[in-house]
Amino acid sequence: MKLALFGHGVMGRVLEAHARAAGHEIGAVLTTRNAAEAARLLPGHDAAIDFSVPGAVAAHVEACASAGVPLVEGTTGWQGSEAAVRRLVEERGGALVYGPNFSIGVNLFYRVAAAAAALFRGLEAYDPFLEEAHHARKRDAPSGTALALRAILARELGHDEIPVTSLRVGHIPGTHRVGFDSAADQILLVHTARSRDGFAAGALLAARWITGRRGMYAFAEVLDDILATERRTP
Ligand SMILES: NC(=O)c1ccc[n+]([C@@H]2O[C@H](COP(=O)([O-])OP(=O)(O)OC[C@H]3O[C@@H](n4cnc5c(N)ncnc54)[C@H](OP(=O)(O)O)[C@@H]3O)[C@@H](O)[C@H]2O)c1
């Protein structure tokens, strides 16, 4: 695939390395220096992948939809404009796959957390909680992944009294803990990212998947397809 990148910070660089290693071509790399030229630079790419800043997401979605380039949206912290982004994609006939976390392991962890929360539904002795930790440069808190976990727990528990704590320190790629605490004991589920490689690999899978599609999809839908294919393969 010929890929355009929005953002060339820590994630953008990890993604570029993975994409080149997998044999993809990197075309336009758009940062604050040349984002205004997106309309001219985007045509001719098979897909674009965005790891930039929340305030730029709507402009990137618009530029991709206008250029007919499917977009993988990895930036977090833009949930507030999700309805507007969806409208934009639908009105322009664009293609977008988004996810606060492209790691396959985290997306399986969402399902583990959902199953666990379903077991605790109605058990007042247990208080649910969430903890997340990331590197000191991360701007949004709680993380998009923690917000997704909170929504999952609220759905399965039937209430949203779920405190979330965020730690920003050092170089942690991303750790999320889902806990259920009682007077007698504590049950703790933990996902620990060891590096950013899993995010890049998932974003590339999403780019391949979105090519040729239209509409707005959550990464969970990509994962469903991938798991179904892998489980069919002996
Ligand atoms: N979905 C996932 O799996 C996942 C995983 C990890 C991180 N993330 C998210 O990815 C995002 C980026 O993380 P990061 O650690 O790579 O951040 P970063 O190192 O700060 O890099 C941000 C990049 O965005 C660029 N940028 C800023 N404004 C822009 C604009 N208007 N148009 C185009 N590019 C612009 C910056 O360009 P300049 O260099 O010119 O300032 C920089 O290259 C964050 O929202 C983070 O939470 C998502």
133-147: pLDDT as tens digits: 999 999 889 999 999
CA distances from 27 to 7, 41, 61, 108, 203 (A): 13, 9, 18, 32, 16
Helix crossing, 197-210 with 10-21: angle to 10°?
60
Site to probe by mutation for ligand 1, drawn from 6, 49, 52, 108 as the one with most ligand atoms within 8 Å of Cβ, is: 52
pLDDT 10s digits, 186-216: 999 999 999 999 999 999 999 999 999 999 9
Q: What percent of the chain has pLDDT over 70?
A: 100
Report residue 11's pLDDT band, with 50, 70 and 90 as the boundaries.
very high
Q: Are strands 186-192 and 175-181 parallel, antiparallel or unpaired?
A: antiparallel
Q: Which atom of ligand 1 is nearest to the CA of 100?
A: 1
CA–centroid distance, 118 to ligand 1, in Å, is 35
Report residue 89's pLDDT band, with 50, 70 and 90 as the boundaries.
very high
CA distances from 166 to 5, 11, 127, 131 (A): 29, 20, 18, 6
Site to probe by mutation for ligand 1, drawn from 53, 143, 191 as the one with most ligand atoms within 8 Å of Cβ, is: 53
pLDDT 10s digits, 144-167: 999 999 999 999 999 999 999 999
Q: What is the pTM of this model?
A: 0.91
Evaluate the omega torsion of the peptide bond into residue 142 and state whether it is cis, within 30 degrees of 0: yes
Query: For residue 71, what are its two tokens?
Result: 């977009």
Q: Which amino acid makes up residue 128?
A: P
Q: Which atom of ligand 1 is nearest to the CA of 75?
A: 45
Which whole number is the average pLDDT over 52-59? 95
Q: DSSP string spanning 65-121?
A: HHHT--EEE---S-GGGHHHHHHHHHHHT-EEEE-S---HHHHHHHHHHHHHHHHHT
Residue pair 179/122 in contact by the 8 Å Cβ criterion: no
Helix crossing, 197-210 with 104-120: angle to 10°?
100
Which whole number is the average pLDDT over 36-45? 96
User: Mean pLDDT for the chain?
Assistant: 96
- Residues near ligand 1 with C-beta < 6 Å? 6-12, 30-33, 35, 51-53, 56, 74-77, 99-102, 138, 199
Query: For residue 97, what are its two tokens?
Result: 């796959």
Query: Is it the case that residue 88 has pLDDT exceeding 80?
Result: yes
